[in-house]
Amino acid sequence: MNCTEVQLLLNDILDGTLPLGQQKSVELHLKDCAACRQELAALRSVLDKASALPVSIDPPRDLWEGIDARLGPQKILAGPFSTRWEPPRSANTNLSTEVVKSMGSSLRIKRSFAAAAALVVGLGCFWFASKSSTPAWQVARLEGTPRIDSEALENTGTIRVGEQLVTDDGSRAKITVGAIGQVNVEPNSRLRLLEAKMTNHRLALEQGTIHARIWAPPRLFFVETPSATAIDLGCEYLLTVDEEGASVLHVTSGWVALEHGGRESIVPSGAMCITRPGRGPGTPFEEDTPEKLRKALEQFDFEDGGSSALSTVMTEARAADAMTLWILVFRAGLADRGKVYDRLVALVSEPEGVTREGVLDGNARMIAAWQRHLHLDFKEWWRVWQ
């Protein structure tokens, strides 16, 4: 490690959050570098002085009456089987131009400082304590010059809650997601770190493409987009958001849930799913699904295509598209569910002990049998119909 890399990690050293894999390299550098040792000692001294400051100083008189007068008045600031999800009728059939606005997040303050002491060392201690207490993830440059907020990333650095990572058409970066995975950020991307907690690792992808690899229990890693939230269920996936806020998810391993406004699509390995602003996630489909079938699915999911689009889906479906048909059995209107089920059975034989009437009536045992039959028996899958 060089001096620049080590100095970027000084806050983590003092916080005790330096990853184990980097501790040895940092220790070796500090052993041989007097300048970095001096910098670390100076920062530790500032923190020690901050710790010695009084938590508060009582004013000579009650100040609240005057403050209150200046503030003035303050303002406090999937359904049942018989229900089909209906997108808003007023929504435009084209992709919405709405893009998620930057989601800022203020840094948390570690301590309160007395006004008099702040004139001496308070401001410096405040800044350092705030930066140190704000959760952060490691970032490494892969190509070009990514930027964290306004600062260029020359080699390695950190992204803290509230900060934005931006890549141009010639840059890429890798984020280490705490201890649970990695996210490669591809060119022309913008994303922000929203949360960095043990039980909530959360990014906002505003535009561009990420490649996420997560090795943690389900529902610890989240990626918010303008049209849905991608929830890791133990997986690897590619997620792309265009400039109008629509997204495409491609799961290459495991499972991912897409959620928006009470609607959920659980996407298994080898499948894809499209989302649109204001509409949420569509129906998952296989990565090699024919183009004509994909277009018909988009019409059904996002453009009020109804029975006509559904008819095209059924005509174009192959045995390999059984997953898509199975989901549509429950998303189609009442008049079409039986037809979709019949097409499914024509392509893939019914599991033993299952009947058409039982499935359409919502028999849990028969639905579970179909899920096992189609290798869709991940326990979270059942939540689609809860």
Sequence length of the chain is 386
- Candidates 348, 379, 376, 386; CA nearest to 267 is 376
**Angle value at C-alpha 227, between 168 and 149, nearest 5 degrees:** 30
Task: Report how far residue 2's alpha carbon sits from residue 156's, in angstroms, rounded to the nearest whole number.
Answer: 11
Q: Which residues pair with 74 in a beta bridge?
A: none
Exposed/middle/buried for residue 167 (C-beta within 10 Å: 0-12, 13-18, 19+) = buried
Is the distance from CB of 125 to CB of 50 less than 8 angstroms? Answer: yes
Q: Which residues pair with 196 in a beta bridge?
A: 201
Task: Report how far residue 25's alpha carbon sits from residue 92's, in angstroms, rounded to the nearest whole number.
Answer: 55
**pLDDT value at residue 25:** 79
Q: For the chain, which residues make up each domain, given as ranges?
A: 1-56+110-133, 136-282, 290-386
**pLDDT value at residue 115:** 33
Is the distance from CB of 233 to CB of 219 less than 8 angstroms? Answer: yes
- Candidates 239, 194, 187, 242; CA nearest to 213 is 239
Q: Where do the DSSP E strands lie in the chain?
A: 136-143, 147-148, 151-152, 156-160, 164-167, 172-177, 181-185, 189-197, 200-214, 221-224, 229-241, 247-260, 263-268, 271-276, 280-281, 285-286
Residues 6+ apart with CB under 8 A from 203: 175, 183, 191, 192, 193, 194, 210, 222, 223, 224
CATH number of 136-282: 2.60.120.1440
**pLDDT value at residue 26:** 78
- In this structure, which amino acid lies at residue 37? R
**pLDDT value at residue 296:** 97
**pLDDT value at residue 38:** 73
* Matching residue, tokens 């499209």: 274
**CB under 8 A, 24+ apart: contacts of 110-118:** 111/50, 111/51, 111/53, 111/55, 112/55, 112/56, 113/50, 113/53, 114/53, 114/54, 114/56, 114/57, 115/57, 116/57, 117/53, 117/54
Q: How far is CA 159 from CA 139, 176, 214, in A?
A: 7, 10, 18
Taking only the tens of pLDDT, the chain with its 386 residues reads 676 566 667 666 766 666 666 777 777 888 788 777 877 776 676 556 555 555 444 444 444 454 344 334 433 223 333 333 333 333 333 333 333 333 333 323 332 333 333 333 334 433 443 444 568 999 999 999 999 999 999 999 999 999 999 999 999 999 999 999 999 999 999 999 999 998 999 999 999 999 999 998 899 999 999 999 999 998 899 999 999 999 999 999 999 999 999 999 999 999 999 999 999 999 999 999 999 999 999 999 999 999 999 999 999 999 999 999 999 999 999 999 999 999 999 999 999 999 999 999 999 999 999 999 999 876 544 344 33
- Candidates 248, 291, 255; CA nearest to 270 is 255
The model's pTM is 0.65
Q: How far is CA 136 from CA 195, 217, 248, 294, 380, in A?
A: 9, 21, 27, 40, 30
Is the distance from CB of 12 to CB of 158 less than 8 angstroms? Answer: yes
**pLDDT value at residue 97:** 32
- Candidates 125, 153, 163; CA nearest to 5 is 153
Q: Which two tokens stand for residue 72?
A: 């003035």
**pLDDT value at residue 37:** 81
Exposed/middle/buried for residue 370 (C-beta within 10 Å: 0-12, 13-18, 19+) = buried
